[in-house]
Structure formats: structure tokens, C-alpha cells
Amino acid sequence: EVIHEWTKLYRQRLFNKDYNQVESVIEYLKKKPSGKRAQMSIWNQQIDLYGNIGPCLQVIWLQIMNGKLEMHVHMRASDCYGKLLMNMNEFIALQDFIAKRLNIQCGSYIQFTDSLHFNSGDKSVVDKLVNEI
């Protein structure tokens, strides 16, 4: 298990003991399987606009379609070399967790990323990988 500051932030904001967004969405979809309001939001304008960590994850939207749990993830940015695949695995695991709680299968996973980039410190490694293609 890899833990970084963003993972801790995502977990805290999704599973907050005062208001657990994951549990809330699960209960909503149990009561209203055709509902279109099942979303979890990470961004906190008062903290994140100028904070040390600006979470890349913005919104997770879920809907039951054809009896399966579809999940859309909206990222404001993603490090395609260092974190993209790790984040996708974390989010797919979350989709699986929620689907199991709803007693249904996972459907499509769709991720939107506004800025896909790599960090300048990884440039030599990324250049080497590109040259090997």
C-alpha cells in the first residue's frame, strides 16, 4: 500500500467521521437506485486554492446503469508518470467497495483529467521511456 499526502487527504475527505461521503452515497443509491445525485466532492475552496496541497481529485460521480455501478472520476491534474496508475487503482478499488456494499457489479470506470503531465524531476526517466517506444 502506497500512502502519500493526497491519499491521506482523499481518505479524510471521503470517509470523514463527521460526514462520511462514501456512506452517504451508498445509502442514497440504496434508497434511489436511479438517482443522479450520487457524487462526492473533494475540493475545499477555503483551504485548497492556496494551500500546500491542492487535491488533484475533484469529484467522483456514481450511477447505477443497467444494474451495474458506473463511476466517473474528475481530476483537475494528474502526474502521468508518478501517480496516474496508482490513483486509478485506488479509485477502481473504491468503485468495487461501493458496488459490493450495493450488492451489484462494477460497470464502466471513466476518468476525466484536465491537465495530464509529468513532474520536471521525472523528465529524464520519461524521455528514456519515450525513446524506447
The answer to whether 57 and 87 have CB atoms below 8 angstroms apart is yes
pLDDT in tens, 60-82: 999 999 999 999 999 999 998 88
| Residue 125, all three cell numbers | 526517466
Q: Residue 119 above 90 pLDDT? A: no
Q: Give the pLDDT of residue 56.
A: 92
CA-based diameter of the chain, in Å?
52
Report yes or no on whether pTM surpasses 0.85: yes
SS (H, E, C) 63-116: EEECCEEEEEEEECCEECCCCHHHHHHHHHHHHHHHHHHHCCEEEEEEEEECCE
Residue carrying C-alpha cell 468495487: 96
pLDDT in tens, 15-44: 998 999 999 999 999 999 999 999 999 999
pLDDT-derived band at 1 (thresholds 50, 70, 90) equals: low
The answer to whether 42 and 14 have CB atoms below 8 angstroms apart is yes
Tell me what the pLDDT averaged over the chain comes to.
92
